Structure 1
Amino acid sequence: MAKAHFHKHQRVFVRPVGTWALIEQVKPHWVKGMDEPVRISYDCGLGRDFTTDELSEEERDEQDTGRWRLMRAKNKWQSPDECAHHPFPGTFPIIVTDEQDWGGWRVPGAEYDRDPQLIEFQARIITAAPTLMKLAEKLAEQAEKPDELPDDLREIVEVARTTLKRIKSRPSESAPSGARAA
């Protein structure tokens, strides 16, 4: 009997097509008189159903802080002609920090219109943040043996340690005395 290996809304790699897709529907195939389905196929919205062996799931790191990704949303308030000076006319960036394509970071349209190049740059930085944090953690590990490090690398390690400390502390802990925590 067949068991479902994937679930609805799961992101999978579709090997025959060579692309990532979300499973829209899990389709069990039943035979009369059987307690369980004989096979299961998956509708990924690509024109046909796929079997389990044609799909593969994302490999996840144990300490994965999330696969943050840059997506584009349609600009509801301006046509592509009205915002032709934008890097991607008719759209604006959103950062998705959740597997289900919700949660994350968005920018108001007026702010994006004021400086689209800056917002696009910020979106790329935010998307890279989990990778940069892992890099900083690896650098900070080098601080355990500071005598073995050259002076210039020691400075970089110290910047990584203080940055990680600022990221991992609560806002009230990292605010300088006299400054108000936001």
Structure 2
Amino acid sequence: MAKAVFHKHQRVFVGPVGTWALVEQVKPHWVKDVEEPIRIAYDCGLGRDFTADELAAEQADNVEAGHWRVLRAKNKWQTIEECAGHPFPGTFPVVVTEAMDWGGWRVPAAEYDRDPHRIEAQGRLLANSPRLLEIAEQLAAMAGEDGDLPPALAELSRSAERVLRDINTKPAKTGNTPQSRAA
């Protein structure tokens, strides 16, 4: 017997048409005296019904964040006196995303020099991103478990789901990458 693979309002890639669409309706095909549907079709608003093998769901990367932290790297291009106005003279932030003290996000010295307070704030934001991701996941799960949320919390939950979809969805290969434009 058939089981539904996709659900209503789910974003799917429709292979025969070559576009993304939302499942508008799940259509089970029933037979008399059978407890489960024999097949299921999906109406995506594209003129005909599609079967599950013609559709593909968005693929999530499931970001493995780990323990990110801000380390201080020595500024090799300026003396402490030259950068006395910086929040931490003689150093700049490095956001480390690996278990070892390497790998992650760094900023060019010239950019740091232009606005060190903004770069320090960005470093703290990047280092706390895994915790913010966990909060968004918990908020989205809360809405999935309890349908009777206050309107403000329900809207926050929907926003968290959109952010998580943006984080976890692989970008489509459009041929509009820097490498393809250079060719």
Q: Please tell me the residue identity of whatever aligns with 1:121.
A: A
Q: Where in structure 1 are there 5+ consecutive unaligned residues?
A: 1-62
Q: Secondary structure at the match of 2:92?
A: strand
Cα displacement (A) at 1:100: 1.1
Q: Where in structure 2 are there 5+ consecutive unaligned residues?
A: 1-62, 179-183
Give RMSD over aligned pairs: 2.2
Aligned to 2:157: 157
Is 2:129 the counterpart of 1:139? no
Q: Please tell me the residue identity of whatever aligns with 2:88.
A: F
Cα displacement (A) at 1:172: 2.2
Cα distance in 2 for partners of 1:111, 1:164 equals 29
Aligned to 1:69: 69
Runs (4+) of structure 1 exceeding 4 A deviation are none
Q: Please tell me whether the aligned partners of residues 70 and 127 of structure 1 are also in contact (alpha carbons under 8 angstroms).
A: yes
Q: Which has the higher contact order (CA 8 A, sep 6+)?
A: 2
Task: Map Cα deviations across residues 137-182 of structure 1 (whole Å, 9 max, x no partner).
Answer: 0000022145310000011001100000000011228x9xxxx567
Task: Map Cα deviations across residues 69-121 of structure 1 (whole Å, 9 max, x no partner).
Answer: 10000000000100111100100000111111111000000000001011000
Is 2:86 the counterpart of 1:94? no
% of aligned pairs identical? 50
Q: TM-score of the superposition, structure 1-length normalised?
A: 0.59
Q: Please tell me the residue identity of whatever aligns with 1:161.
A: E
Q: Secondary structure at the match of 1:94?
A: strand
Cα distance in 1 for partners of 2:71, 2:83 equals 18
Q: Secondary structure at the match of 1:172?
A: coil
Cα distance in 1 for partners of 2:145, 2:93 equals 42
Aligned to 2:129: 129
Q: TM-score of the superposition, structure 2-length normalised?
A: 0.59
Instruction: Tell me how many residue pairs correspond in the alignment.
Output: 116
Aligned to 1:109: 109
Q: Please tell me whether the aligned partners of residues 146 and 154 of structure 1 are also in contact (alpha carbons under 8 angstroms).
A: no
**Inter-CA distance 156–181: structure 2 relative to 1 (3 Å threshold):** farther
Q: Secondary structure at the match of 2:66?
A: coil
